[in-house]
Amino acid sequence: MERLNVTRRNFLKVSSLLGGGMLIGFPMVSKSEAASNAVFSPNAYLKIGADNTFTLIAPNPEIGQGVKTSLPMIMAEELDLDWKKVKVEQAGFDPELYGRQVAGGSGSVRSRWQEARTAGATARALLVAAAAKTWGVDVTECHTEAGFVHHKKSGKKLSYGELAETAATMPIPENVPLKDPKDFKIIGTRVKNIDNDNILTGKPLFGIDTKRPGMYYAVVARPPAFGKKLKSFDDTESLKMQGVHKVVKWENIVAVLANSTWNAKKGRDALKLEWEDDSPLESTADHEKILKSFLDKRSDSPARNDGDALKFLENGGEIVEGTYEAPILPHATLEPMNFFADVREGKAELYGPTQTPASTRGQVSKALDIPEENVTVGLSRMGGGFGRRLMADYSLEAAMISAAAKAPVLMVWMREDDMQAGFYRPMGKYKYRATLNDKKELEAWHLTAAGLNNQRTSIPNSFPAGAVSNFRIDNHNKESNISTAPWRAPNHNFIAFAEQSFLDEIAHKAGKDPIQLQLELLAKAKNNPGGKVDYDIDRYENVIKELAKLSGWKNNNGANGIYQGFAAHYSFSTYVAQVAEVSIKDGKPKVHKVYCVVDCGQVVNLSGAENQIEGGIVDALGHALYGEITFDKGVVQQNNFNRYKLMQLQDAPMEIITRFVRNEHDPTGLGEPGFPPAHPAVCNALFAATGKRIRKLPISHTDFKA
């Protein structure tokens, strides 16, 4: 991306709005820019109406993680706005204005925290300066409150709306001080999802709701299996069908355009298609065999190798061993893949659900040989993301269909298409071996990890790395033609299960309390570290200790037939510890309650933050109970929700009790970190309840009646 080479003065954009009021662009200075002190790029906007209403632009894509609410909250805080008067608009894709517009890696708030605060504070300083100038007083005599600048001595006040025009002429201050967190009025409070009204009254918000004049609906025929390609097709019957407008082919897909989704689907179903093999047709049974075959092999370059774990394991001692197995999972966003595209006359207009509009623009530009500046990407609210919409396959597909048909199209995947043409969470297998010394201390740890399309199946610096002197990880990878991609908390989503379950096994073997064991290991990592760790040991320890108090750990274990299980995990710079309470009724596991302590630094929106943690736990529980995709000769065996079970309300815990550690650290990730500890917390509780160790997910493989 080329940076705008502008001076400080002229990047503060001011323009008149209809009916009075001003549009102000704020300087948001990145660190590198601040260092050079020469180049700046504006990347967020506030509109102030003459009636003192405020429109804040939400720069990042919204997938349900809440950033359309939380990012504007940060700006509103430093600006001292009345939140009730704030309106939020979703930005389109415009990296020159808005920088990195991505929903991924639990990074939206983390990456924008400082710049959003600085933007808000700078704008506030300009408004104060404008008021001081108007009144002929010193800025230090002025203060702001809920969209007004006040002069205490004289009792005068002016609204931001009244001051906007003057504010835009004031010199932009350097190094504007940010608020002391103890003065926050908006940040840290419960603010409702900004789209609640629209969501609850059924307003068009999502990509699939798009309507444009002259638009056709497109439904696509695609290869029925991974490894198949299109040989030929006959569209005679399709073209005879009611409402069908056109049939177009692009690479291995055939799209039917019609006047409604249903007619397009019927037209698609009427296509006569011939497919041929292009690459091997893989089955889950093959993957199982290949990954298992890796588990006793060493790799030439271990991902981590502290001390000499292999020597300790060869020399015997008390060995604990367990192999943990993760199935393939689909993202199964409830809103299936879809995109609107209108490609005509050397221009492409795209609109829809994407976590990375930059990929969409790049790929469409390249495939159609249209310069990037002629490709626009509008961002809809998304019916879930979970990593699936980091891929641009479907938005590109929509663009190619529109280009071939020379018409605007809303391409919609049927659920079966969505399940078959996924980018799945890869399968993984993790063999752990550990030795205990005479004092029942963990002496050596060896993980052999094998994954599908996953070069980094394990996370080398993840706990208990650093807490065990002899620590080795070997990784193996099998390339597959079944496409895989990041899936909520990539790798962490299973590593946490394997590590934390195995630590629970070790605790039982050593006759130690599982929480006590992990606290001992953290103390070891602190006092006598065995190599590099990524996590802050004190913060890690703290969430575990707080959780033990919150959950009444041990005292409640086994009372009334309800058993507790513990797990903790560090991901996306956030520390999460959980205790799950379970029972078995009629051979079926039931999760009653989950306690959760989170250290994610400063919480921005308390309601949204709790919702992310609750959702992460429930999402994890659902997939732990039921989630599994299998393939037979490249064909997905669970192609709709009647074959692929997603969790329903009846399986949800009755209560999730979440506490956030109060501190003044900058915010860290929140969309993903709640997920990873929930699998092991539940499975460790099931072990406490039944003595059955769950090493293979989903839990539905385990028979609790036997």
Binders of other proteins in range 41-60 (CB under 8 A): none
Taking CB under 8 A as the rule, does residue 239 contact other proteins?
no
CB of 213 to other proteins, least distance (A): 13
- Span near other proteins by CB under 8 A; candidates 13-21, 125-133, 267-275, 638-646: 638-646
Taking CB under 8 A as the rule, does residue 237 contact other proteins?
no
Contacts of 336 (CB under 8 A, 6+ apart): 208, 412, 413, 414, 415, 417, 418
Mask 135-174, x = binds other proteins (CB under 8 A)? ----------------------------------------
- In whole angstroms, give the CA distance from residue 400 to residue 101: 24
CB of 614 to other proteins, least distance (A): 5
Q: Please state the separation of Cα 435 from the chain's center in Å.
A: 36
Taking CB under 8 A as the rule, does residue 190 contact other proteins?
yes
- Span near other proteins by CB under 8 A; candidates 357-365, 396-404, 407-415, 578-586: 407-415
3-state secondary structure of 456: coil
Taking CB under 8 A as the rule, does residue 612 contact other proteins?
yes
Shorter beta-carbon distance to other proteins: residue 294 or 494: 494
The secondary structure of residue 259, as a DSSP letter, is S
Shorter beta-carbon distance to other proteins: residue 353 or 667: 353
CB of 87 to other proteins, least distance (A): 17
Q: How many other CB atoms are found less than 10 A from the CB of residue 157?
A: 16
Nearest of 32, 31, 78 to residue 54 by alpha carbon:
78
Binders of other proteins in range 245-264 (CB under 8 A): 259-263
Taking CB under 8 A as the rule, does residue 536 contact other proteins?
no
CB of 587 to other proteins, least distance (A): 18
Burial label for 217, CB within 10 Å (0-12, 13-18, 19+), is buried
Mask 319-358, x = binds other proteins (CB under 8 A)? -------------xxxxx----------------------
Interacting residue with other proteins among 15, 196, 232, 315 (CB under 8 A): 196
Shorter beta-carbon distance to other proteins: residue 63 or 123: 63
Shorter beta-carbon distance to other proteins: residue 197 or 632: 197
Q: How many residues does the chain have?
A: 706
Interacting residue with other proteins among 291, 414, 447, 683 (CB under 8 A): 414
Taking CB under 8 A as the rule, does residue 382 contact other proteins?
yes
CB of 321 to other proteins, least distance (A): 33
Taking CB under 8 A as the rule, does residue 649 contact other proteins?
yes
Interacting residue with other proteins among 65, 70, 574, 602 (CB under 8 A): 65
Interacting residue with other proteins among 4, 38, 199, 559 (CB under 8 A): 199
Interacting residue with other proteins among 607, 630, 637, 702 (CB under 8 A): 607
The secondary structure of residue 670, as a DSSP letter, is -
- Span near other proteins by CB under 8 A; candidates 221-229, 319-327, 548-556, 643-651: 643-651
- In whole angstroms, give the CA distance from residue 23 to residue 16: 6
Taking CB under 8 A as the rule, does residue 617 contact other proteins?
yes
Taking CB under 8 A as the rule, does residue 560 contact other proteins?
no
Shorter beta-carbon distance to other proteins: residue 390 or 450: 390
Interacting residue with other proteins among 614, 672, 686, 694 (CB under 8 A): 614
- Span near other proteins by CB under 8 A; candidates 23-31, 188-196, 309-317, 399-407: 188-196
Which residue type does 310 have?
Answer: L
DSSP lists the bridge partners of residue 447 as 432, 473
- In whole angstroms, give the CA distance from residue 29 to residue 40: 6
Shorter beta-carbon distance to other proteins: residue 64 or 408: 64
Supply φ then ψ for residue 197, to 5 degrees: -60, -45
Taking CB under 8 A as the rule, does residue 290 contact other proteins?
no
Count residues binding other proteins (CB under 8 A): 70
- In whole angstroms, give the CA distance from residue 681 to residue 696: 15
Peptide bond into 698 cis (omega under 30): yes
Helix (H) or strand (E) segment spanning residue 540: helix 537-551
Taking CB under 8 A as the rule, does residue 242 contact other proteins?
yes
Taking CB under 8 A as the rule, does residue 615 contact other proteins?
yes
Half-sphere exposure of 250 (CA within 13 A, CB side): 19
- In whole angstroms, give the CA distance from residue 222 to residue 176: 55
The secondary structure of residue 211, as a DSSP letter, is -
Contacts of 624 (CB under 8 A, 6+ apart): 497, 678, 679, 682, 683, 697, 698, 699
Interacting residue with other proteins among 560, 650, 703, 706 (CB under 8 A): 650
Shorter beta-carbon distance to other proteins: residue 358 or 646: 646
Shorter beta-carbon distance to other proteins: residue 159 or 402: 402
Contact 432, 321 (CB under 8 A): yes
Nearest of 494, 658, 670 to residue 572 by alpha carbon:
670
Shorter beta-carbon distance to other proteins: residue 8 or 592: 592
Kindly state the tokens that stand for 108.
């939206």
Taking CB under 8 A as the rule, does residue 63 contact other proteins?
yes
Interacting residue with other proteins among 82, 89, 165, 195 (CB under 8 A): 195
CB of 299 to other proteins, least distance (A): 36
Contact 192, 389 (CB under 8 A): no
b/e map 347-375, b = 16+ CB within 10 Å: ebbbbbbbbbbbbbbebbbebbebeeebb
Interacting residue with other proteins among 117, 381, 472, 695 (CB under 8 A): 381
Shorter beta-carbon distance to other proteins: residue 277 or 416: 416
Burial label for 315, CB within 10 Å (0-12, 13-18, 19+), is exposed
Taking CB under 8 A as the rule, does residue 415 contact other proteins?
yes
Taking CB under 8 A as the rule, does residue 217 contact other proteins?
yes
- Span near other proteins by CB under 8 A; candidates 138-146, 198-206, 279-287, 423-431: 198-206
- In whole angstroms, give the CA distance from residue 701 to residue 704: 9
- In whole angstroms, give the CA distance from residue 440 to residue 655: 36
- In whole angstroms, give the CA distance from residue 282 to residue 479: 11
Nearest of 416, 401, 406, 408 to residue 351 by alpha carbon:
408
3-state secondary structure of 613: helix
Nearest of 29, 47, 50 to residue 38 by alpha carbon:
29
Taking CB under 8 A as the rule, does residue 398 contact other proteins?
no
Taking CB under 8 A as the rule, does residue 604 contact other proteins?
no
- In whole angstroms, give the CA distance from residue 278 to residue 157: 73
CB of 220 to other proteins, least distance (A): 15
Kindly state the tokens that stand for 221.
């025929």
- In whole angstroms, give the CA distance from residue 301 to residue 475: 9
Where do contacts with other proteins occur on this chain (CB under 8 A)?
A: 62-66, 190, 192-193, 195-197, 199-206, 208-209, 211, 217, 242-243, 259-263, 266, 332-336, 381-386, 412, 414-415, 607-608, 611-612, 614-619, 621-622, 640-642, 646-650, 652-656
